[in-house]
Structure 1
Amino acid sequence: MPERQRADARRNYARILAVAEAEVAAHGPGASLEQIARTVGVGSATVRRHFPTRRALLEAVSRKRIEALCVRAHHLTGAGDSRQALLDWLNDVVAYCVSARGLAAALAYDGAESEPIHENSCSAALEEAAGPLLRRAARDGAVAADVTITDLITLIVGIALGTEHHPDPAARAAGLFRLAVAGVSPRR
């Protein structure tokens, strides 16, 4: 939201965002924009002016969580064991995606929005923040050199979306992530 907006537009944005957070928490990424507008008491055009796409809405709702994950990545960058630091951060991403409805959808690379104006800012922020973690782990031989943060985020999004209707999505997602890290081959 531009800081140069009128005071009433900033208030509308804050009210819409607060209601959107509640709607996404209750109904997931498919939360109704029309319901958000009705709850706030504005027209749907006002909601769409602030959030022209569903992704823009989900990214705004997820912004604080994304910022926390970025801070966590920066904190872990200097940790002793580069593999463990990367896995700790990825576990945090899995936990956030499972606990925060809409976050996995905000991180998904759907390919439908290829113009730079529609860049997936949530994923871009995580890629930038976690890049040093991954590069360090790759340099230490703890991760294959061709693995990217995009690959890892895509894996996590798939796990989160695939477990969202499980009776215990957090446990199921954590288990699938451990399986992905360990691989399917038996330990020797």
Structure 2
Amino acid sequence: MSPVSKGVVVMRADARRNYENLVAQASIAFAESGVDASLDEIARRAGVASGTLYRHFPSRLELIEAVLAEQIAGLVDLGRDLLTADDPFHALSTWLRAAITHGLTYRGLSAAMLNSALDREADLVSTWHTEMFNAGAALLARARQSGAVTPDADDADILRMIGAIAWAAQDSPDSAAQADRLLALLLRGLHQP
């Protein structure tokens, strides 16, 4: 979530570039090394001094929030875009796969945010959950209305299964392949040819 959307301050162009580059580099570093990735290394990769990183993100948690906000916004936008796809079942499958990939890639970030929600920003996590749920539910409703999925497919159940797939696959030696196999089983159960 950019500082502008938080209502903080409109940033100069160079500050905005630094902010966006820091979030992009943090996203890569967190995906590679988890939430304990070196903040100094993230600043170095972004081509800025550590002080610049800390001016934008006074704590590791604030940087994690920014990365997750960007990733979740991307998934929500993908869901909106897929609502106009020709094939509702393929659209649903595409979004579910993206949600699982997000869960696998950023599981440490999500856990850090959920743990911090006990202390602060519970509304932020709740908002993200609602946005994700609404994106997935809209795609499922469209697929259900088209007759592509079983009529008794429940929004909450399907999204819980997606979370469960990401959780179950995370410790597999080939987590992406394991997640694909589990998602294929789910989709076969949902599909109404």
Give TM-score, length-normalised by structure 2.
0.63
Aligned residue in 2 for 1:45? 54
Q: Distance in 2 between matches of 1:103 and 1:155?
A: 15
Q: Please tell me whether the aligned partners of residues 21 and 61 of structure 1 are also in contact (alpha carbons under 8 angstroms).
A: no
**1: CA distance between counterparts of 2:24 and 2:64?**
16
- Following superposition, the deviation at residue 163 of structure 1 comes to 1.9
Matches within 5 A, 1:174-185: 174-180=180-186
2:50 and 2:160 mapped to 1: Cα distance? 36
| Aligned CA distance change for structure 1 residues 112 and 63 (closer, same or farther; 3 Å) | closer
Task: Report Cα offsets for 1:80-113 as digits up to 9, x if no partner.
Answer: xx55653443234334544xx2168549993752
Structure 1 residue 110 corresponds to structure 2 residue 119: no
Please name the residue that 2:159 is paired with.
Answer: 153
The answer to whether the aligner puts 1:74 opposite 2:80 as a matched pair is no
In structure 2, the partner of 1:186 is: none
Structure 1: runs of 5 or more not aligned: 184-188
* CA 135–175 in structure 1, closer or farther in 2 if over 3 Å, else same: same
- Is 2:65 the counterpart of 1:59? no
Unaligned runs of 5+ in 2: none
Scaled by the length of structure 1, the TM-score of the pair is 0.65
In structure 2, the CA distance between the partners of 1:136 and 1:74, relative to structure 1 (3 Å rule), is closer
Of 4, 14, 29 in structure 1, the residue corresponding to residue 10 of structure 2 is 4
- Structure 1 range deviating more: 160-169 or 132-141: 132-141
**Maintained 8 Å contact 2:79/2:95:** no
Contact 1:106 1:122 in 2 (8 A): no
Cα distance in 1 between the residues matched to 2:71 and 2:55: 20
State how far apart, in whole Å, the 2-side matches of 1:91 and 1:121 are. Answer: 21
8 A Cα contact 1:109 1:120, kept in partner:
no
| Maintained 8 Å contact 1:13/1:50 | no
2:24–2:67 CA contact under 8 A, matched in 1? no
- Per-residue deviation, 1:121: 5.1
Conserved in 2, the CA contact under 8 Å of 1:62 and 1:103?
no
Q: Given that residues 72 and 89 in structure 1 are in contact (C-alpha distance below 8 angstroms), is that contact kept between their aligned partners in structure 2?
A: no
Question: After the TM superposition, which of the residue ranges 103-112 and 39-48 deviates more from structure 2?
Answer: 103-112
Which residue type is aligned with residue 21 of structure 1?
S
Q: CA deviation at 1:56?
A: 0.9
Which of 34, 39, 42 is the matching residue for 1:36?
Answer: 42
Rounded Cα–Cα distance in structure 2 between residues aligned with 1:38 and 1:92: 29
Between the aligned residues of both structures, percent identity stands at 26
